Amino acid sequence: MLKKYLLITVFSIFAASAQNKNVSTISWKGNKKMNIKFMTEFIETKINQPLDSVKLENDVAALTRLNGVSNITFKVSKAVDSSYEVTYTIIENWSILPNIALWTTDEAAAAYKIGVFDYNFLGRNNTIGGFYQYNGVASFGFHFSAPFLFSANIGLETSFQKLASIEPIFINELPARYEYTNTGAELLGVYRLNYRNSIKFGVNVFSETYQYISGPTAFDVPQKLEVDKMLVKSNYNYDNLLYDFYLVKGIRNNFFGQYVFSSSEFQNDFIIAWNDFSYFKRIGKTGNWASRLRVGLSSNDKSPFAPFALDNNLNIRGVGNIIDRGTGVIVLNTEYRKTLYEKGWFVLQGNAFVDSGSWRQPGGNFSDFVASDNFRVYPGIGLRVIHKTIFNATFRIDYGFGITKNASNGIVFGIGQYF
């Protein structure tokens, strides 16, 4: 009996000691819109579990990636019973933003895009919004994303949009002008494996229309093409970035794979996949080196409607609007960002960049990637005007000038960092 009593006593003392090392309270400061219940479920640190410094650091990394959070810190203190109290202090982002852009095209002296999005709807990192665009033809779209709708790890995304533009279609290496319209709806499931890894999988049902406007023609290239398609898509995202407001370090890798089913004999079913690897390094207090490598391939059909485009706003700054298309792409963007002035919420940042890339021609060979006619190198400089506590509030302007064969130059405007 004495032995049994001693064992019970020792176990009780050990259990009490272990309990005192647990987290007894999790509290939040600075939150205005962010949902406390959502954040408490989202983080790895839990009440009545042992305090873990690794989990606390993971919580900071994961929370600062949420649209509604600009920055976050934590404080650990001991309670009277020697358990731990954890307090997270948040600086929130303003997340209801207009979506406005203005540019010029051959079809419209003043092309524009207007819309509004809430990137932290209900304080749960949901995105909801819509836009209207005119660039010689009209476009519109609606988007809703709730990546944590069902739990801290499971959600969905859905959208409907009609996108239209005047695009060059290359026939015998000469550009013809077509009006392109893509009308479709998308539904994706989202699953977060942990704070670094997430996957998306779903379908997009859409209709494409190509209508000839002007330029060269060919007997085997239709002047009007309507195609109903279904796209099965997947995305795997590895994100190990650490943010200090607008400064960032770490790596991120995004893989996209799609299979497109086509109803047209002119366009075969095809596969397309690409991978974006990004690397960010802090240099000094306010310097940031950023690089992105994109490698992509698709089915190598000899078609003027190849999926990878060479374009100002996608990959090479200064090259022009959709000047070429291909069935493969290799692009490296690298730039050095440096804070020129910072006071309170305002940041003025300068950058110097080099964008380079090459394309495989439709029906071509892998040797196309090293052919001088397909290779582009565009160095340049730019400015960023940044608001530190408004989500994605970075207005950028870049000027790129080509140094390779048949080069051009130009100014590129945008919202958010280029990558």
| CATH for 36 | 3.10.20.310
The answer to whether residues 363 and 241 belong to one domain is yes
Q: Which of 409, 411, 418 is nearest to 319 (CA)?
A: 409
The answer to whether residues 248 and 302 belong to one domain is yes
Instruction: Identify whether the C-beta of residue 286 lies closer than 8 Å to the C-beta of residue 342.
Output: yes
Q: Which of 361, 320, 376, 372 is nearest to 168 (CA)?
A: 320
Query: pLDDT tens for residues 162-210?
Result: 999 888 787 877 888 899 999 999 999 999 999 999 999 999 999 999 9
Angle at CA of residue 237, ends 307 and 113, nearest 5°: 55
Lowest mean pLDDT among 28-37, 73-82, 161-170, 340-349: 161-170
HSE on the CB side for 168, CA within 13 Å?
19
The answer to whether residues 197 and 273 belong to one domain is yes
Structural domain total, the chain: 2
> In three state form, how does the secondary structure of 368-382 look?
HHHCHHHEEEEEEEE
The answer to whether residues 396 and 254 belong to one domain is yes
The answer to whether residues 87 and 123 belong to one domain is no
Which helix (H) or strand (E) covers residue 201, if one does?
strand 197-214
Give pLDDT, residue 65. 95
Give pLDDT, residue 6. 43
Residue 16's pLDDT band (boundaries 50, 70, 90)?
Answer: very low
pTM of the model: 0.85
* CB neighbours of residue 124 within 10 Å: 22
Q: How many angstroms separate the CA atoms of 123 and 68, rounded?
A: 7
Query: pLDDT tens for residues 336-354?
Result: 999 999 999 999 999 999 9
The answer to whether residues 50 and 143 belong to one domain is no
When pLDDT is averaged across residues 274-292 and rounded to a whole number, the result is 98
The answer to whether residues 101 and 64 belong to one domain is no
The answer to whether residues 287 and 320 belong to one domain is yes
Q: How many angstroms separate the CA atoms of 175 and 368, rounded?
A: 20
Query: pLDDT tens for residues 96-148?
Result: 999 887 776 666 667 889 999 999 999 999 999 999 999 889 999 999 999 99
CATH number, domain with residue 389: 2.40.160.50
Give pLDDT, residue 167. 81
Domain termination residue (choose one: 40, 74, 91) = 91
Q: Is 204 helix (H, G, I), strand (E, B) or coil?
A: strand
Instruction: Identify whether the C-beta of residue 213 lies closer than 8 Å to the C-beta of residue 177.
Output: yes
Bridge partner residues of 174 (DSSP): 171
The answer to whether residues 139 and 204 belong to one domain is yes
The answer to whether residues 85 and 122 belong to one domain is no
Torsion sign (Cα): 186, 189, 191, 197: negative
Tokens of 174: 């000469």
Q: How many angstroms separate the CA atoms of 302 and 325, rounded?
A: 11
When pLDDT is averaged across residues 11-23 and rounded to a whole number, the result is 56
Give pLDDT, residue 397. 95
Q: How many angstroms separate the CA atoms of 218 and 206, rounded?
A: 26
Domain termination residue (choose one: 50, 68, 91) = 91
The answer to whether residues 163 and 48 belong to one domain is no
Q: Between 306 and 276, whose confidence is greater?
A: 276
The answer to whether residues 143 and 84 belong to one domain is no
**Is the model's pLDDT at 40 over the cut of 60?**
yes
Query: pLDDT tens for residues 399-415?
Result: 999 999 888 898 998 88
Which helix (H) or strand (E) covers residue 63, if one does?
helix 53-63
Q: Domain of residue 129: give its range.
A: 96-415
- Strand (E) positions, 245-327? 247-262, 270-283, 287-298, 308-310, 324-326
Domain termination residue (choose one: 32, 63, 91) = 91
Q: How many angstroms separate the CA atoms of 182 and 210, rounded?
A: 9
Lowest mean pLDDT among 52-66, 77-91, 101-115, 258-272: 101-115
